[in-house]
A = this chain, B = another copy of it.
């Protein structure tokens, strides 16, 4: 029989839109031997993870748990549980993940009303208010806090207030925000929120933290129909993650080990506030450096995420070549554009363990060299000086 090769993983620095680099202690935790999903030792880990996630989300919600799938499974969890056929839902769309929410919601049989803003801009509260007024009663308003396809940091407070004024549930996608910038579920009165582990939390992809408050649960428990997804049915998962510990499905044990250790690094070793500060400072410094080099950032600074930066591709530069050489020669992964931004911009992540000074200087320098080879000159000296002065 033909011998298959052992796994050889090339050296990478992950500066794309996720996954981000994972700390050695997280990889080590993940490699611990398995426990059964009903073992008291694992149930204890589950309880501790729920408590960690509450701190990360800024909530006291009891139902705060990692769903057994990646971020998009979290998105689907939220919509299949909160919507029933015929419900009206307002979905804010200013990028790929807003579009995806609209698609997922429509597959629940909901009537989807989209509120749109140009990609790279934020959704305005007045737009949402207008839609709420026109379409009342509306079951829920859904919005992305950190739009990974554009790098926009969406303000939430006023839109939350508008949603509640019209008695709608307020749903937030925090996939790229959790751990990187404050989410503050309770303070923002977010009723249901979901995230992913592979962005600013820096655990591998495979789990999707979800939190739901009493209002969200009340809505869930008043459903007329079963949740259309068995796998993502929170009415059943309450039994496993709650006190009864009823078997639902086999949880991804190893991924939970990784999430536990990744959250522990943030909450107990670094501190959550320090973690936000690191993302903000390094992100803003890199952005200033890129601009000093002569590159253009399409998103206005007041709504620009620190952990995910979009950079316009200079005219005459071949997108795919730059990204391929960054990967092949320097081991640096950045992301290409999605949707209307395909071929027009790059997405540079400074998330979680990838958010380090040494990564920024490698990236700026490598990018400078590669652009130069394509005849595009950038001022690397000004870029590095500016970056350094902002730290």
| B-binding residues in A (CB < 8 A) | 1-7, 9-12, 14, 16, 18-22, 27-37, 39-41, 45, 48, 52, 68-73, 75-76, 100, 103-104, 106-108, 196, 198, 204-206, 226-231, 247-255, 257-258, 260-261, 264, 267-268, 271, 327, 333, 338
Contact = CB atoms under 8 A, between A and B. Distances in A.
8 contacts: A1-B267, A12-B34, A18-B250, A21-B33, A30-B31, A70-B252, A100-B230, A205-B250
Given A12-B35, A37-B205, 8 more contacts: A9-B33, A9-B257, A22-B33, A39-B333, A40-B327, A69-B73, A100-B230, A107-B227
Contacts of A12: 33-36, 39
A20 B253 CA distance: 11
Contacts of A28: 31
Given A100-B230, A227-B107, A250 B9 contact: no
Identify which of A30, A39, A76, A206 gathers the most chain B CB atoms within 10 Å of its CB.
A206
B1 A14 contact: no
Contacts of A198: 34, 250
B16 A36 contact: yes
Given A39-B12, A72-B231, A247-B338, A252 B4 contact: no
Given A48-B4, A69-B69, A255-B255, A9 B35 contact: yes
Given A73-B68, A104-B230, A268 B2 contact: yes
Given A7-B45, A39-B327, A72-B230, A31 B31 contact: yes
Nearest to A353: B34
B48 A34 contact: no
A206 B252 contact: yes
Nearest to A104: B230
Given A205-B252, A268-B1, A7 B19 contact: no
Given A205-B253, A253-B204, A107 B29 contact: no
A15 to B, nearest CB: 10
A257 B7 contact: yes
A263 to B, nearest CB: 8
Contacts of A247: 338
